[in-house]
Amino acid sequence: MLFEFAVIGGILLGIYYALFAMGLNVVFGAQRIINLAHGDIVVLGGYAAWELYETAHVSPIIAAVVVLPFAIALGFLVHRYLTPRLTRSSDPETLSLILFFGLSQVIEAAASLIFGPNEHSLPTSALPVSSLHLFGESYPGIWWVAVLVSIPMLAVFLWLLYRTPFGLRVRAVMSSASEAATAGIESRLVSGLFFGIGFGLAAAAGTMGIFIFGGIAPTDGVALTITAFAIIVFGSLGNPVGTVIAALIFGVVTQLAQVYAPSWSNLVPYALVILTMLLRPQGLLGRRQRVA
Amino acid sequence: MSLSARRRPAVDEETKRPRWRGVVSPGMAVAIPVLVFLVAVHVYSNELLLVDMAIYIALAQGINIIYGFTGYLPFGYFGFFGVGAYVAGYGIVHLGLSGPLAALLGGLGGVVVGAVMLPLFRLKGAYFALTTLAVGEALYAIVSNPSLTSVTNGPYGLNLAAVYSSGWSFGMAVGLAAISILAVVLIKNSRYGMTLRAIRDDPYSASMAGINVARDRFYAWLIAAAIAGVGGAIYGWAISVFYPQDVFDVTVSVFAIVFALFGGIGTIWGPTLGAAVLYAVYNVVGVSNPQYFQLIYGLVIVLLVLFAPRGLAGIARYLHEHRPFVRSST
Amino acid sequence: MTVNSQIRTPLLQIADLVTRFGKFRALDGVSVEVGESQAIGLVGPNGSGKTTLVNTVCGLYPSASGSIHFAGTNLTGKRADIIAKAGINRTFQISKPFASLTVRENVEVAAHHARHPRDVDEVLEQTDLASHSRASASNLTAAQQKRLDLARALVMSPRLLFIDELAAGLTPNELQDVAAMLRNLVNDGVSLVVVEHLMGFLEQVVDGVYVLTAGQVIFRGPLRDALADDRVQEVFLGRNDSARS
């Protein structure tokens, strides 16, 4: 029974992790940048959910939608005003990493100045369900709620990417990063919007993350970023479907570790990064990327 | 007449600079910081702060060696630091080593971990940076794991108070800073330094110039790992009691990288000054209000990357070359 | 004597070389031989595998099968620095100078790692870079950077040089100079493999050509015969016969 619990729970969480990590892959697709502030955007989303619930009793499910435009705008502005200077430098890749790292530190500092350094959490009573049963096992309500939020968001995102003219443009831009860097205003607009969507997905994931991760603190960003990075490289950079599959596997493995070797479970994302990078740097679904 | 006759051979025809600068100026880069520390310890009472500052100078120079000369940025640099602290602590507690010997053992621990991480050099910049970060975090998760309490003492850390020696740890820290600066001086002014810059500029071209890219880059990596290992050992020794999260702390990497960037990567003085200035600021602003310090250095990073990627050294050079009324030397 | 020179093994012997990118065979069983003091040209349309051949022999890409022998040693799968030390070197289609070093340092660093280094100043003189020796390599013009590639290769006393599109973008006068310089190298005993589109330039430099298309050699022999060959014409002028007059 423990095994079934771990596997089903892992799949539920995996669906959430897909939403959680997708934003990082989207930002990578838009600009060939690893957004080291990804985890911090997730944290900001969590704070937004906390603030909205505590001040206005807005359900975190609504908050997941409310944060979208703000985070997309933030991402768009970052893309517009911070990244263009990088492409002119001698080592844009490492410098972008440092830049986004600086951004993550600014966000962390701002978060702890506004909300204090301590962990914030929301009571599960903020959610419509406390727990649900399946095959005789009880699963926390938040897992179901997170799935309920993640699936439509991912579905809309994938529809946007694969079934709309905007998505076609995005994929054209993604397929040639160098052209994207030098191309005209319109494609800058497209990649800027897509970049913003990456931030939006991260923030939306954060509104659920405040429950999933048992609360959020300003310093959580780094660990969250590594976890998301583990998932997207495992599933192949630039491949949204890969991220979904990798997130499901990651969810199940993490839950199995939680059940059978709890003290080792926080090693899972790190081991995943290291093993992927050493054994299959192009990821599960990838053709050889310029990773190595 | 006699003056000009004496001056002429003192000028290097190649560089049009006085030849003495080639010897004295690098020597100063080691001597001045050491002297400042030796004086400071008599005027300033907080010796542990000076120990930390010296260690951070060493770490910033370690980042300088690996990032400045090879272009590989190890976010997981703190892993060596933590391993050094633990290996040295183990040597003190279980083997009864003296502090200085244990510090060397810590350096060896850093080197061993560095050697194990060799395969990561197949990865390009950003992936290398993040994978080393994962290695550092994985080391923390292993060392602090309650299941390994019998081996590492798990989350309860180490207590080295029995061998505490303030004078020795201060001396070792300053010595490490001096050796690290000296290492940068020697690398920068040697064939090896030129080789490393060639590798950083274009690894494949470098290999067609007969350079064994993997080996030569690896040496730089091991030097940087040894510095962090010894640094961690001295740090653990100096604070006597530490927990895993104190030494396997991503902040150690962050500070070392930010200090080095702030001063100027690839220069001799940059990381020294960057560490001294920012660590001093940290102690004025940061200890009581770490968020403000974090905000400051976060903004410093963003502004540096956007406007002054060569750090203080780059700004200084720019000002020097654009002095009013003075034509830049040709 | 002629019989003797024919059975002597060539300086570079590439046999059945295959280089794959995923499923795509960029080189599909290429065999090339280059003798001592011989200059050969590699021609073929874009994407035919010329630069891939250079990159594989010079250790940038691993080969999937086949062998590379040079001066009696097997260099198949060897690291680039070992290949360079064995006496093979190259220039690049897009030059790759060490941007943070000066021109002289660019050449020096190669000299430091050469088995038989030549005098750095002499090489700078030979490649017409002596007057720029203290300039930063990144400040050179494209043509000068290509000469710097060459200088870096020459200082290692190579016995075989791959010249990858050295002539692109040069004025007719410069072309004459480069051709003469390459011919002098051959007279000094260096073998050349020249990748080039300009047939007039090739004609002045090489003794014979290999024509590649789709990763295979379709012709080897004198350049004039190649230009007259039906298959070669088809490759260069398109498959439609009526387009030919």
> Do the chains contact at A95 and B131, CB–CB below 8 Å?
no
Domain contains B3? no
> Which residue's structure tokens are 């280059």?
C34
- Could you tell me the CA-to-CA distances from B243 to B56, B248, B303 in Å, in that order? 19, 9, 34
> Do the chains contact at B123 and A270, CB–CB below 8 Å?
no
**Is the Cβ of C135 closer than 8 Å to some Cβ of chain B?**
no
For CA atoms B279, B283, B287, B290, give the dihedral sign.
negative
Nearest-angstrom CA–CA distance, A90 and C55: 25
pLDDT tens digits, one per residue of C146-156: 999 999 999 99
Domain contains A120? yes
Most B-contacting residue of C60, C98, C115, C134 (CB-CB within 10 A), to test interface: C98
Q: Which of B191, B202, B212 sits opposite C81 (nearest CB)?
A: B212
H-only helix segments in C8-119: 50-57, 80-86, 103-112
Q: Which of C81, C83, C114 sits opposite B213 (nearest CB)?
A: C81
pLDDT value at residue A155:
94
Domain contains B74? yes
**Which chain C residue has its CA at the smallest distance from B209's CA?**
C110
Average pLDDT over all residues of chain A: 86
Nearest-angstrom CA–CA distance, B101 and B126: 36
Nearest-angstrom CA–CA distance, A209 and A216: 8
- Could you tell me the CA-to-CA distances from A283 to A230, A236, B117, B128 in Å, in that order? 10, 4, 20, 15
**Is the Cβ of C120 closer than 8 Å to some Cβ of chain B?**
no
* Cβ contacts of C89 on chain B, cutoff 8 Å: 208
**Complete DSSP assignment for C160-221:** EEEEES-STT--HHHHHHHHHHHHHHHHTT-EEEEE-S-HHHHHHH-SEEEEEETTEEEEEE
- Could you tell me the CA-to-CA distances from B156 to B108, B148, B182 in Å, in that order? 24, 11, 37
* Cβ contacts of B211 on chain C, cutoff 8 Å: 81, 109, 113
Average pLDDT over all residues of chain B: 86
**Is the Cβ of B251 closer than 8 Å to some Cβ of chain C?**
no
* Cβ contacts of A113 on chain B, cutoff 8 Å: 291-292, 295
pLDDT tens digits, one per residue of B94-148: 888 888 899 999 999 999 999 999 999 888 878 899 999 999 999 999 999 888 8
**Which chain A residue has its CA at the smallest distance from B307's CA?**
A85
Q: Which of A109, A117, A274 sits opposite B131 (nearest CB)?
A: A274
Confidence of residue B160 (pLDDT cuts 50, 70, 90): confident
> Do the chains contact at C81 and B207, CB–CB below 8 Å?
yes
Q: Which of B146, B261, B290 sits opposite A98 (nearest CB)?
A: B261
**Which chain A residue has its CA at the smallest distance from B149's CA?**
A263
Can you say whether residue C206 is alpha, beta or left, with left for phi > 0 and alpha for psi between -120 and 50 degrees?
Answer: beta
pLDDT value at residue A291:
43
Domain contains A269? no
**Is the Cβ of B146 closer than 8 Å to some Cβ of chain A?**
yes
Instruction: Delineate the domains of chain C, giving CATH numbers in brackets.
Output: 1-86+164-240 (3.40.50.300), 88-158 (no CATH)
CA-based nearest distance C99→chain A, Å: 10
Q: Which of C98, C115, C152 sits opposite B197 (nearest CB)?
A: C98
> Do the chains contact at C112 and B195, CB–CB below 8 Å?
yes
Range A153-173 average pLDDT: 88
**Is the Cβ of B209 closer than 8 Å to some Cβ of chain C?**
yes
Single-letter code of the amino acid located at A83: T
Is the pLDDT at A274 greater than 90, yes or no?
yes
Pairing of strands C39-43, C191-195: parallel
Domain contains A28? yes
Q: Which of B137, B145, B304 sits opposite A270 (nearest CB)?
A: B137
* Cβ contacts of C99 on chain A, cutoff 8 Å: 90
> Which residue's structure tokens are 């493999």?
C193
**Is the Cβ of B149 closer than 8 Å to some Cβ of chain A?**
no
Domain contains B228? yes
Domain contains A124? yes
Range C86-110 average pLDDT: 93
Which domain range does residue B108 map to? 24-249
* Cβ contacts of A90 on chain C, cutoff 8 Å: 99
> Do the chains contact at A98 and B305, CB–CB below 8 Å?
yes
> Do the chains contact at C99 and A90, CB–CB below 8 Å?
yes
pLDDT value at residue A245:
94
Range C54-67 average pLDDT: 94
Number of domains in chain B: 1
**Is the Cβ of C94 closer than 8 Å to some Cβ of chain B?**
no
For B161-175, C150-164, C190-204, which range has the lowest pLDDT when averaged over its residues? B161-175
Domain contains A11? no
Q: Which of B124, B130, B291 sits opposite A292 (nearest CB)?
A: B124
Nearest-angstrom CA–CA distance, B274 and B259: 5
pLDDT value at residue B300:
87
> Do the chains contact at B200 and C85, CB–CB below 8 Å?
no
> Do the chains contact at B134 and A270, CB–CB below 8 Å?
yes
Number of B:C CB contacts under 8 A? 75
Domain contains A224? no
Which domain range does residue A102 map to? 16-219
Contact C210, C41 (CB under 8 A): yes
Range C57-82 average pLDDT: 94
Task: Find the chain C residues whose C-beta atoms sit closer than 8 A to any C-beta of A.
Answer: 21-22, 99
pLDDT value at residue B180:
97
Confidence of residue B12 (pLDDT cuts 50, 70, 90): very low
pLDDT value at residue B47:
85
pLDDT value at residue A174:
72
Most B-contacting residue of A34, A87, A97 (CB-CB within 10 A), to test interface: A97
Number of A:B CB contacts under 8 A? 129
Number of domains in chain A: 1
Number of A:C CB contacts under 8 A? 4
- Phi, psi (5° rounding) for residue B309? -60, -15
* Cβ contacts of C101 on chain A, cutoff 8 Å: none
pLDDT tens digits, one per residue of B215-233: 999 999 999 999 999 999 9
**Which chain B residue has its CA at the smallest distance from A95's CA?**
B305
pLDDT value at residue A181:
53
Q: Which of B14, B207, B209 sits opposite C79 (nearest CB)?
A: B207
Range C44-60 average pLDDT: 92
Range A93-120 average pLDDT: 89
Q: Which of B14, B198, B210 sits opposite C101 (nearest CB)?
A: B198
Single-letter code of the amino acid located at C49: G
Is the pLDDT at A113 greater than 60, yes or no?
yes
Domain contains A158? yes
Domain contains B49? yes
Can you say whether residue A34 is alpha, beta or left, with left for phi > 0 and alpha for psi between -120 and 50 degrees?
Answer: beta
For A58-67, A91-100, B173-182, C135-144, which range has the lowest pLDDT when averaged over its residues? A91-100
* Cβ contacts of C21 on chain A, cutoff 8 Å: 288
pTM: 0.87
Q: What is the dihedral of CA C213, C219, C220, C221, to 10 degrees?
A: -130
**Is the Cβ of C58 closer than 8 Å to some Cβ of chain B?**
yes
Pairing of strands B17-18, C12-21: unpaired
pLDDT value at residue A11:
93
* b/e per residue C54-83 (b: at least 16 CB within 10 A): bbbbbbbbebeebebbbbeeebbebebbeb
Q: What percent of chain C has pLDDT over 90?
A: 65
Q: Which of B204, B209, B210 sits opposite C60 (nearest CB)?
A: B204
Domain contains B144? yes
pLDDT value at residue B150:
81
Range C75-96 average pLDDT: 93
- Could you tell me the CA-to-CA distances from C175 to A161, C51, C179, C200, C209 in Å, in that order? 51, 21, 6, 10, 19
Higher pLDDT, C172 or C80: C80
For A116-120, A240-244, B200-204, B286-290, which range has the lowest pLDDT when averaged over its residues? B286-290
Half-sphere exposure of residue B293, counting CA atoms within 13 Å on the CB side?
19
> Do the chains contact at C22 and A287, CB–CB below 8 Å?
yes
